[in-house]
Structure 1
Amino acid sequence: MQYGMMDGYGMGYGIWGILGLIFWILVIIGLVLLIKYLWEGVGTKREQESALEILKRRYARGDISKEEFEEKKKDLL
């Protein structure tokens, strides 16, 4: 009896190799999605704060009137 790639268990490393590869691919994809989710959460908070700061700067420069400032501020908050 010869033992090689096909040793009576199907395709040798075949099924376990494929399952192992799929497992590690899923782990990597999960980590990438987790990092992306966490990074976007931080970015969203910064964007909300910066929008109000931009509005304040525009009002301070005189680009918009007080009425426009108050209206846009209500929209942001």
Structure 2
Amino acid sequence: MMGYGGFGGHYGFDWLGAGFGMITHLAFTVLIVMAAIYFYKNIFRGGNCRHLRGQNDAALEILRERYAKGELPAEEFQKMKKELQ
């Protein structure tokens, strides 16, 4: 006799549990890698932070106003505009 469950001990369905375990492990690993990429892009490299983009737009607007009033020469305006973008 082979024991109480035939092949594999649990009625032959041990492979099913191992398959779900492998899929769960793979999904968790992918999730960790995606989180690491997200944090690297948005925290360490600056990313597309909306609050910084808003500050940059405000600075460009002030620069344009100063140029329009004649407070800045064209060369200095272009240099500062390039630095802000």
Deviation at 1:31, TM superposition (A): 0.7
The match for 1:9 is 9
Relative to the length of structure 2, the TM-score reads 0.49
SS in 2 for 1:57: helix
> Higher relative contact order by CA 8 Å / sep ≥ 6: 1 or 2?
1
Q: Deviations over 1:35-62 (max 9, x none)?
A: 11211212167x63x5444333222221
User: Any gaps of 5 or more consecutive residues in structure 1?
Assistant: 64-77
Query: What is the match of residue 38 of structure 1?
Result: 40
Distance 1:57 1:17 in 2: 56
Identical positions, percent: 10
Query: TM-score under structure 1 normalisation?
Result: 0.53
Is 2:61 aligned against 1:58? yes
Measured after TM superposition, the shift of residue 17 of structure 1 is: 1.3
Q: Which runs of structure 1 show a deviation greater than 6 angstroms over 4 or more consecutive aligned residues?
A: none
Residue ranges of structure 2 left out of the alignment (5+ in a row): 67-85
**For the pair shown, which has the larger CA radius of gyration, 1 or 2?**
2
Q: CA RMSD in A?
A: 3.0
